[in-house]
Amino acid sequence: METPSLRYYCRYLLLTATWLAMAASNTSAYQLSQVKPSPSLHENHPHYPRPTATVTSALRAKGSSTSSSASTATSSKAEQRFDAMLADFRRHSKADINLVASPRYRGLLSGTSTAINNEKVTRAFKVLYEDLGPIRVAGDLIFSKLENEIDKTKASDGAGNVRALGRDDSCVVAARKIFDAVDADASGTVSSMELLNSDLLRSLGQCVDCTCEKKGNCQSVAKFMDEIDKTHPKGELHFDEFLIAAHHFLYAGDASVSLFGGEDCSGDLVDQLLNGRENDIGVGVDLDKAERHSKRFDAMCVEFMTWDSGDSAAKAEARNPRLALVLEGCFAGAKEQPVVDALKILYTDYLVLRMAGDLIFKMMRKLAR
């Protein structure tokens, strides 16, 4: 059964989508002011959306700044909230992020980490967060989920055991890349057969005299798996257990030696392990439902890159200085693969952000052309 808060929020989304669509087609400020909420949307209801002057003025003529003190206060409050969220997020290290089990949460966290270190991308997100109510609401909810997920991970026994090894962030990042390459079915665990089929141990010189012919009785694999007191069925290792086993079995517990060659060197080993298997990774995951949205996102990215001409920034600045900041951030973010991957997850998984993304894309297209 649909909850009242969801019902009112959906109506709020539709109202704001109308504003954005009208703005994208150069509807006049007067016409924008005539858009009214549904009569059934009672103003006394706690979930009633009260559009701020910030939203209206931001969509109004050519990016001019708001003139009323009320809109300035609202903008300042949203900006302070945005800055506070980024400050909270900067508490998390690369190791913290890579210890998160869920690949989609990890993708969002990695993309966020990359984005907040790019000034242009951060500024673009800040403009959208300040000016668009649905983006602000959805952003708050997603940020809260990400914070809960990473805080839960950091408080886990597994994360504590990894920290006790004395390994730096680059070692954890490298181990995550190797683990994901070995985890052929993307189950989040590595089995003895996956370890055997990956040739990881052979690549690291552990199977020089091996005669098992990959028939499942490899002594090196057995010793690696036995480094951990297994509490899971079928002898499968989670990421933290895999990292600990590698630390002890492959590097004799010496934290001074980079794990798998460190973050910069692990890429070559990953390529060697995959050996043309890229399309097999994660074949057990049901992607049918998201395929259409994923293809749509990819198509938008391809078109978007054609807009980045020499004079596109100047044209956008002349047309709408505030939205030009968003376009500039989009061009910068498109060059950061973790940011693109995170946005794709958001677009595929969240209806609200998919609708907002489509409308923002249309606005950027009109601005850039």
Q: Is 11 left (phi over 0), alpha (psi -120 to 50) or beta?
A: alpha
Domain count, the chain: 2
Mean pLDDT, residues 328-336: 93
Q: Are residues 104 and 171 in the same domain?
A: no
Q: Are residues 251 and 145 in the same domain?
A: no
Evaluate whether 223 touches 231 at the Cβ level (below 8 Å).
no
Q: Are residues 26 and 144 in the same domain?
A: yes
Q: Are residues 90 and 210 in the same domain?
A: no
How many Cα atoms are found within 13 Å in the side-chain-facing hemisphere of 360?
A: 26
Mean pLDDT, residues 119-130: 94
CA-nearest of 243, 189, 187, 198 to 220 is 198
pLDDT in tens, 202-227: 777 666 566 565 555 677 777 888 77
CA-nearest of 97, 112, 88, 81 to 343 is 112
CATH number at residue 203: 1.10.238
Q: Are residues 71 and 215 in the same domain?
A: no
Task: Name the maximum alpha-carbon separation found in the chain.
Answer: 80
Q: Are residues 143 and 292 in the same domain?
A: yes
What DSSP assignment string belongs to 167-213? --HHHHHHHHHHHHHH-TT-SSSB-HHHHHHHTHHHHTTS-TT---T
Quick one: pLDDT band at residue 185, thresholds 50, 70, 90? confident
Q: How far apart are the first and last CA of the chain?
A: 44
Q: Are residues 103 and 234 in the same domain?
A: no
**For residue 261, what are the domain limits?**
157-280
d(C-alpha 322, C-alpha 312), whole Å: 14
Residue 37 has pLDDT above 60, yes or no: no
Last residue of a domain, one of 280, 295, 325: 280
Mean pLDDT, residues 23-52: 40
pLDDT in tens, 272-285: 666 544 444 443 34
Question: CB 242: neighbour CB atoms within 10 A?
Answer: 24
Residue with tokens 């692990």: 266
Of the two residues 239 and 55, the one the predictor is more confident about is 239
Q: Please name the amino acid found at residue 326.
A: V
CA torsion 170-236-190-212 (nearest 10°) is: 120
Last residue of a domain, one of 263, 280, 297: 280
Last residue of a domain, one of 280, 311, 340: 280
Evaluate whether 165 touches 244 at the Cβ level (below 8 Å).
yes
Q: Are residues 294 and 364 in the same domain?
A: yes
State whether residue 90 is helix, strand or coil: coil
Q: Are residues 179 and 305 in the same domain?
A: no
Evaluate whether 353 touches 347 at the Cβ level (below 8 Å).
yes
Q: Are residues 176 and 273 in the same domain?
A: yes
pTM value?
0.74
